[in-house]
Amino acid sequence: MKKFLLGIIVALPLFSFSQNSTNQEEPHLKNLKQLTFGGDNAEAYFSFDSKKITFQSNNKKWGLKCDQIFMMDLKNPIKDSLGKTPLISTGLGRTTCSYYMPDNKHILFASTHLAAKECPADPPPSKRYLWAIYPEFDIFISDEKGNIAKQLTTEPGYDAEATVSPKGDKIVFTSTRNGDLDLYTMNIDGSDVKQITFGLGYDGGAFFSPDGKKLVFRASRPTGEEEIKDYKELLAKGLVAPTNMEIYTCNIDGSELKKITSLGKANWAPFYHPSGKKIIFSSNHHSAKGYDFQLFMINEDGSNLERITNNSLFNAFPMFSPDGKKLIFSSNRNNGGTRDTNLFIAEWKD
């Protein structure tokens, strides 16, 4: 859900709501175009040359039972619900968190396909929203024809939410290999793995700053005996409750950890503005009911919070193109009264 999630994330499950566009002004988004037309589509990320995207989808019209990874050439996008883009993952198990490699020809993603051909079970019914942290997830690299080129992780436990530095030298990912959900970095070839966050709680959905020197991510920090007990008990069951998260930054070695937001509720799916001085993210902090997620932007020092989207009740997974000209994100707008979540792309205007 990086990010089916709330990115986010994990085998991040998506929120789906039936609210349609209210056609309110969104001055930063020009020439908005819809890229997918059915199912839950999310975590769309640009190739390094800004010409293609990779994303995950569970569109039943494509014969899918749970999330799989696809790619799309932005010069030749699908135009309606009958279209389909190339499958990158194996079609087995569940996948999440794909990202283009620097060569623009290979794609990174997490998958459970080595553990079982079937989709892993969804979280059990609960009065609160829960994500599953599947321990069967490992991180793989595939070419654009769906051929697995390399497996990057083999440690027991959850390994997912991987993204690549704009410098093309490092990967950041989330893992439970130490018993908690922490961030790790590794070289682009999978070597030199280093743990960089250590606080109790869920650290995930990390992305590099444009200069590759910093990370921005979402984190929960349970406090008090009851919160800590609840977090640990859920994690032992392979679950997490992503309803209280804030945005943090740190250097790529984990130093200078800073909490950027203190808004309450769920603040997640952050991504650096091309300037490297602002962060765009999804949040429901403004919502009385809790399920209205809009995109916001904030200065890196936590000042000047600005609302970016005003249409539909779910907007998340924003990413700026490497050339800084466009923004891609997921939204429930224009879904014809269904529960579909689709991809949208717009020209970005500061």
Give the mean model confidence (pLDDT) for residues 332-342.
94
Mean of pLDDT over the chain? 93
pLDDT of residue 211: 98
Could you list the residue range(s) of the whole structural domain that residue 330 is in? 29-348
**Does 8 fall in a domain?**
no
> Residue 100: what pLDDT?
98
> Number of structural domains, the chain?
1
Is there a domain that residue 193 lies in? yes
Q: Which two tokens stand for residue 60?
A: 């039943």
The model's pLDDT over 194-221, given as tens digits with 9 standing for 90+, comes to: 999 999 999 999 999 999 999 999 999 9
pLDDT reading at 117 higher than 80:
yes
- Is 16 inside any structural domain? no
> Is residue 212 in some structural domain?
yes
Q: Which of 86-100, 148-162, 287-301 has the lowest mean pLDDT?
A: 287-301
Does residue 205 lie in a domain region?
A: yes
- Based on DSSP, count helices (H) and strands (E) in the chain, helices before strands: 1, 25
| % of the chain exceeding 70 in pLDDT | 93
Predicted TM-score of the model (pTM): 0.93
pLDDT of residue 81: 85
Give residue-wise pLDDT tens across range 309-320. 999 999 999 999
Percent of all residues in the chain with a pLDDT value above 90, rounded to a whole number: 89
> Does residue 336 lie in a domain region?
yes
Q: What is the pLDDT of residue 24?
A: 76
What residues contact 227, with CB distance under 8 A and at least 6 apart? none
Tokens at 48, concatenated: 């390094």
Would you state the pLDDT for residue 291? 82
Confidence at residue 12, expressed as pLDDT on a 0 to 100 scale: 35
DSSP 248-281: EEEETTS-S-EE-----SBEEEEEE-TTSSEEEE
Phi-psi region of 192 (alpha: psi -120 to 50; beta: other; left: phi over 0): left
In tens, the pLDDT along 156-206 reads 999 999 999 999 999 999 999 999 999 999 999 999 999 999 999 999 999
Supply the CATH number for residue 106's domain. Answer: 2.120.10.30
**pLDDT tier at 1, thresholds 50, 70, 90:** very low
pLDDT digit string, tens, across residues 237-294: 999 999 999 999 999 999 999 999 999 999 999 999 999 999 999 999 999 877 899 9
d(CA 208, CA 157): 24
pLDDT band at 146 (very low <50, low <70, confident <90, very high): very high
Structure tokens at 319: 């990413």
Residue 4 lies in a domain: no
CA-to-CA distance for 181 and 200, rounded, in angstroms? 8
User: What does the pLDDT average to over 46-59?
Assistant: 98
Q: Is the pLDDT of residue 303 over 70?
A: yes
Closest alpha carbon to 286 in 309, 303, 270, 302: 309
In a domain, 322, yes or no: yes
